[in-house]
Chain A
Amino acid sequence: MDFNFSEEQSMLRDTVASFLQDRYDFDSRQKLIKTESGWSQANWDAFANELGILGAPFSEELGGLGGGAIENMIVMEEFGKALVIEPYLSTVVIGGGFLKHSGHAGAAEHIGGIIEGKTIIAFAYAEPQARYTWQDLKTTAKKDGAGYVINGHKAVVIGAPWATHLIVTARTGGGQRDEQGVSVFLVDKNAKGVTTRDYPTVDGQRASEVYFENVSVGADALIGEEGNGLGLVNKVIDEATAASCAEAVGAMRKMHEQTLDYARQRKQFGTAIANFQVLQHRMVDMFMNVEQSVSMTYMATLKLDESDAERAKAVSAAKVQIGKACKFVGQNAIQIHGGMGMTDELAVGHYFKRATMIEGLFGSVDHHLRRYETLSFGKAA
Chain B
Amino acid sequence: MNLDFSPEDLAFRDEVRAFVAENYPEHLRAKSDEGEELSKEDFLSWHKVLAKKGWVAPSWPKEWGGCGWTSTQKYLFGEEMARADAIPILPFGVAMVAPVIYTFGTQAQKERYLPKIYNGEEWWCQGYSEPGAGSDLASLKTKAERITGDDGKEYYIVNGQKTWTTLAQHADWGFFLVRTDMNAKIQEGISFLLIDMKTPGITVRPIITIDGGHEVNEVWLENVKVPVENRVFEENKGWTCAKFLLAHERSGIAGVARSKRGVERIRQMAGTELGDDGDSLIKDSDFKRKVAELEIDLTALEFTELRVLASESAGKGPGPESSLLKIKGTEIQQRLTELALEAAGHYGAPYFRGFPTDGDNMHPIGPDSAHRTAPNYFNTRKTSIYGGSNEIQRNIIAKMVLGL
| A residues with CB within 8 A of B | 34-36, 38, 126, 128-133, 136, 155-156, 158, 176-177, 197-203, 207, 209, 267-270, 273, 276, 278-279, 327, 331, 334-335, 338-339, 341-345, 349-350, 352-353, 356-357, 360, 364, 366-367, 369-370
Tell whether A128 pairs with B351 under 8 Å between CB atoms, given A133-B278, A339-B129.
Answer: no
**Are the CB atoms of B345 and A202 closer together than 8 Å?**
no
Q: Select from chain A the residue with minimum beta-carbon distance to B379.
A: A342
Contact A342 B210, CB 8 Å, known A177-B278, A360-B342: yes
- Most A CB contacts (10 A, CB to CB) among B278, B281, B346 go to B346
Q: Given the complex, which residues of A lie within 8 Å of B346, measured CB to CB?
A: 126, 128, 131, 155-156, 360
- The answer to whether A268 and B274 touch across the interface, beta carbons within 8 angstroms, is no
Q: Are B365 and A209 in contact (CB under 8 A)?
A: yes
Does A132 lie within 8 Å of B391, measured CB to CB? no
Among B163, B342, B345, the residue within 8 A (CB) of A339 is B163
A350 contact set on B, CB distance < 8 A: 210
Question: Is the beta-carbon distance between B385 and A133 smaller than 8 angstroms?
Answer: no
If A128-B366, A370-B276 touch, does A342 touch B385 (CB 8 Å cutoff)? yes
Q: By the criterion CB–CB under 8 Å, are A200 and B391 in contact? A: no
How many Å from the CB of A248 to the closest CB on chain B?
16
Number of interface residues of B (CB under 8 A): 56
Whether A199 and B389, one on each chain, are in contact in the complex, defined by CB atoms closer than 8 angstroms, is no
Bound-complex Cα distance A269 to B355 (A): 40
Among the listed A156, A268, A338, which residue makes an inter-chain contact with B350, where contact means beta carbons less than 8 Å apart?
Answer: A156
Assess whether B347 is interfacial by the CB under 8 Å rule. yes
B286 at the interface (CB under 8 A from A): yes
**Chain B residues within an 8 Å CB radius of A353:** 210, 374, 378
Contact of A34 with B375 in the complex, beta carbons under 8 Å: no
CB closest residue in chain B, given A205: B349
- A269/B136 contact (C-beta < 8 A), A133-B278, A156-B350, A360-B345 known: yes
Q: Once the chains bind, are A366 and B378 in contact (CB under 8 Å)?
A: no
Residues of A near B386 (CB, < 8 A) are 339
- The 8 A CB mask of B53-94 against A (1 = contact, 0 = none) is 000000000000000000000000000000000000000000
B134 touches A200 (CB 8 A): no
B342 x A201 contact (CB < 8 A): no
Beyond A131-B275, A269-B136, whether A156 also contacts B381 by CB under 8 A is no
Contact B274 A129 (CB under 8 A): yes
**Which of A38, A197, A202 meets B365, CB within 8 Å?**
A197
Residue in B136, B277, B278, B382 whose beta carbon sits within 8 Å of that of A342 in the complex: B382
B275 surroundings in chain A (CB, below 8 A): 131
Q: Is the interface of A mostly helix, strand, loop or mixed?
A: mixed
Question: Are A201's CB and B134's CB within 8 A?
Answer: no
- Is there contact, CB below 8 Å, between A268 and B136? yes
**Docked-complex contact B377 and A131, CB < 8 angstroms:** no
B369 at interface, CB cutoff 8 A: no
A128 to B370, CA, bound (A): 12
**A340→B274 CA distance, assembly (Å):** 37
B139 adjacent to chain A (CB < 8 Å): yes
Contacts of A366 in B (CB 8 A): 284, 286-287, 342
How many Å lie between the Cα of A162 and that of B210 in the bound state?
25
Q: Which of A128, A198, A276 contacts B357 (CB 8 A)?
A: A198
Interchain Cβ contacts under 8 Å between A and B, 8 examples: A131-B273, A199-B351, A200-B355, A343-B208, A344-B212, A352-B381, A356-B341, A366-B342
B348 x A360 contact (CB < 8 A): yes
Nearest B-chain residue to A369, judged by Cβ: B286
Q: Which residue of B lies closest to A133 (CB)?
A: B276
Q: Judge whether A201 and B378 touch: CB under 8 Å.
A: no
For the complex formed, measure the closest distance between the CB of B372 and the CB atoms of chain A, giving whole angstroms: 10
A339 with B164: in contact, given A131-B275, A278-B391, A352-B210 (CB under 8 Å)? yes
Complex Cα distance, B209 from A197, in Å, reads: 27
**Given known contacts A131-B274, A156-B347, A177-B278, is B212 in contact with A356 (CB within 8 Å)?**
no
CA gap between A360 and B365 in the complex, in Å: 18
Min distance, Cβ B301 to any Cβ of chain A, angstroms: 20
B29 to chain A, nearest CB (A): 26
Q: In the complex, are the beta carbons of A34 and B210 less than 8 A apart?
A: no
| A-B contact sample (8 more), CB < 8 A, given A327-B338, A370-B286 | A126-B346, A131-B274, A203-B349, A278-B391, A352-B381, A357-B374, A364-B342, A366-B284
Expressed in whole angstroms, the minimum distance between the Cβ of B291 and any Cβ of chain A is 12
B384 within 8 A of A: yes
B35 within 8 A of A: no
Contacting pair A335 B381 (CB below 8 A): yes
Residues of B within 8 A of A279 (CB): 391
Q: What's the minimum C-beta distance from A198 to chain B, rounded to whole angstroms?
A: 7
Shortest Cβ gap from B375 to chain A (Å): 7
